[in-house]
């Protein structure tokens, strides 16, 4: 079956991919990065990001469920730091969890992020980095930052494989590249 769709080429630390463009709103398309199951891309991104993080002081890696978990895991191995995952649904074993609401560009609907009570102890009073696969609108990032503030953690860096959209907005993000947003006219 022929592949009859538009793509955008990326090279992440030697791992090359052609990302399919998807419409996420009328007339708005993005190049979708899906690292789930892509071990080569995850490892290449982790190695590149670990090099960029060498001079940044952090104790713990924090990410949101689910697409960024493989990256947080790989970065944990490459940097020797633990990682914590904010969940998108509350489970009773999470105890007195902290929470924050966010809206992702890929879902378009409100989501709540939860920090498990046990993980709160891991980040409280610590220097943390926030890790995401792609930072686009910053909504997920903001939700994580709110929880880290409530947990009394100090965010020392925001990290992503790629940023997307307004490049100037993401100047301080540690990343390996930038994706445009396509607006149909």
Query: Residue 141 — left, alpha, or beta (φ > 0 → left; ψ -120 to 50 → alpha)?
Result: alpha
| Burial of 156 (C-beta count, 10 Å sphere; 0-12/13-18/19+) | middle
Peptide bond into 66 cis (omega under 30): yes
Question: Which tens digit of pLDDT belongs to each residue from 89-135?
Answer: 888 998 888 998 876 655 667 888 999 999 999 999 999 999 999 99
The Cα 15–Cα 40 span in angstroms is 7
Question: Does the pTM exceed 0.85?
Answer: yes
Question: Which tens digit of pLDDT belongs to each residue from 28-86?
Answer: 999 999 999 999 999 999 999 999 999 999 999 999 998 999 999 999 999 999 999 99
The answer regarding whether domain 35-177 maps to CATH 3.40.640.10 reads no
Q: Strand, helix or coil at 172?
A: coil
Q: Are 172 and 135 in contact (CB under 8 A)?
A: no
């Amino acid at each position: 079956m022929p592949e009859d769709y538009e793509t955008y080429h990326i090279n992440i630390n030697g791992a090359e991919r052609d990302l399919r463009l998807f419409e996420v709103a009328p007339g708005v398309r993005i190049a979708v990065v899906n690292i789930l199951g892509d071990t080569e891309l995850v490892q290449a991104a982790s190695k590149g990001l670990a090099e960029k993080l060498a001079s940044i002081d952090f104790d713990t890696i924090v990410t949101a469920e689910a697409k960024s978990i493989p990256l947080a895991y790989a970065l944990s191995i490459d940097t020797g730091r633990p990682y914590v995952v904010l969940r998108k649904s509350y489970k009773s074993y999470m105890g007195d969890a902290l929470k924050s609401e966010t809206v992702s560009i890929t879902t378009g609907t409100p989501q709540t992020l939860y920090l498990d009570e046990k993980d709160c102890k891991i980040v409280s009073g610590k220097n943390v980095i926030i890790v995401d696969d792609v930072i686009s609108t910053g909504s997920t990032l903001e939700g994580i930052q709110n929880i880290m503030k409530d947990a009394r953690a100090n965010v020392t860096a925001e990290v992503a494989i790629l940023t997307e959209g307004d490049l100037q907005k993401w100047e301080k993000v540690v990343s390996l590249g930038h994706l445009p947003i396509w607006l149909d006219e």
